[in-house]
Amino acid sequence: MKTLGLLGGMSWESTSVYYQRLNRVTRERLGGQHSAPLLIWSADFAPIAAMQAAGDWDGAADVLVEAARRLEAAGADALLICANTMHKLATQVGAAVTVPVLHVADATAAAIRAAGVVRPLLIATRFTMEESFYRDRLRAGGVEAVVPEAGARDRLHSIIFDELVQGRFEPASRAEVVAIVHQAVAEGADIVILGCTEFGLLLSPDDLPIPVFDTTEIHVLAGLDFALAQ
């Protein structure tokens, strides 16, 4: 089994889910006492969040590139960036290493395309919803995602940064997210993409009126497909 390198800590709340799911699914697939060979670099998220807010993506790229090189030097056979927003820097990270960077949007697009849906709703950070790096990558994979209106995008972004990455999972915020999804369903959305790795900690599929594509779970399965491939 190949070794996966995790670029994590953005936030550590969802990186812990990556760790747990990678190991649990490895045991499910291989049985017995098997677990996943992993290398984890976990960031201090506060400086990176400050760089995001200031638009200092070059500074954030420097941090991730250095971490990616260290993971490759330590023996990682492929890298997973454990945060959707930080895939804005996937090209820079991929150019700095010789091992593949398994892109969450590629795996998500493949899963959605296989499901045959036509109007997926993307909920995520404002960066992921409003900038082109993520939706263009989905589009290249044959998926045209829609996003909520501006006020809802602002509220989703606030819930992520003010609550979820700090380990706060408020019932009132869950209800707000559910209401945003219901509005999108009324406008024709037929699935929802949880495009923030922390959303799976706030919501369960039973909370929502349409099928859920959790990017954390999809990314984990893509990583294990690579790691277990002969």
- Domains in the chain, CATH or no CATH each: 4-103+218-228 (3.40.50.1860), 104-214 (3.40.50.1860)
What lies within 8 Å, CB to CB, of 156 at 6+ separation is: 123, 124, 125, 126, 129, 148, 177, 180, 196
pLDDT for 118 equals 83
pLDDT at 230: 80
d(CA 88, CA 105) in angstroms, rounded, equals 11
DSSP reduced 3-state for 54: helix
Which residues are within 8 A (CB) of 111 and not within 5 positions of it... i.e. 6 or more apart?
A: 213, 218
- Mean pLDDT in order along the chain per 10 residues (230 residues): 98 97 97 97 97 98 98 98 98 98 98 91 98 96 96 98 96 98 96 97 95 97 96
| C-alpha pair distances (Å), 139 with each of 9, 83, 95, 105, 134 | 28, 19, 22, 9, 9
Integer Cα distance of 53 and 95 in angstroms = 24
Of 4, 125, 24, 113, nearest to 68 (Cα)? 4
Global pTM reads 0.96
